[in-house]
Amino acid sequence: MTAPIATLPDAFSALEQIGNAARRGGIALFLDFDGTLAPIVNRPEDAALAEGLFGILSGLGEHMPLAVVSGRDLDDVKGRVGIDGLFYAGSHGFTIEGPDGFSERYGDAYMADLDRIEEKVSAIAAEFGNVCAERKSHALAIHFREAPADTEDRLAGRLAPLFSNEQRLKLHGGKKIFEIRPDFEWHKGCAVRRMLEVLSGSRTELIPVFIGDDLTDEQAFEEISDDGICIVVGSDQRETHAGYRLDDVPAVRDFLSRILERTSAP
């Protein structure tokens, strides 16, 4: 079941429920990076944690399982967050690392397929002004945030023929980005469920809480909506599987700070 983001209740209305569960050690917190922990910027390489979040995340990580789940490559997002002892899922969950040496990878069999199509995608991106192609470990990204407003439709039209008979890769849309990823059933929601399985060995009755802003986060919302709390960042009319919303990155920071206060209180 979905609803427009703007119609959802503010996540602060669920703060008492989340805070009480966190104090009992019953929360596992999953966070997107871009647009959730870091403001959206025109150039992906310029993204950084919002001011104050390093300390907040470090504190939360001492009290509960915490994971950053990003479309960025694993090493990229780990470097931008910079906190040891957390779970990190990169490439939309295709690579996962966590405490005690936990490490898993999915989709490696599709790397040759990305190699096969990379040159064609880069050539198409070069036809447009202010569009760039980026090779990630498990994806090809085409960024057009700085391009003219009509670029998305024209770019989609140029990319579509590459996938008319493609059996191994799939084209996905996002916020000012297209991504080409392995075409098999693995995504952020699968990665979240896998991390919960790992955590269940040491903790019981964990409530997953996922906060994210992008279309790829919807798969995580859908995966845990029955047994977790899903919070989307934004205020537009897009349909979402989330049950709560926060307006923007500063609101996320304030919300996480309030959870930390409740968790740390004597």
Catalytic residues: 32
Nearest Cα residue to 77 out of 86, 87, 68: 68
Contacts of 230 (CB under 8 A, 6+ apart): 209, 210, 220, 221, 224, 241, 242, 243, 244
Token pair of 195 as six digits: 């991390």
Nearest Cα residue to 232 out of 207, 255, 206: 255
Contacts 24+ apart (CB under 8 A), 156-160: 158/124, 158/127, 159/121, 159/124
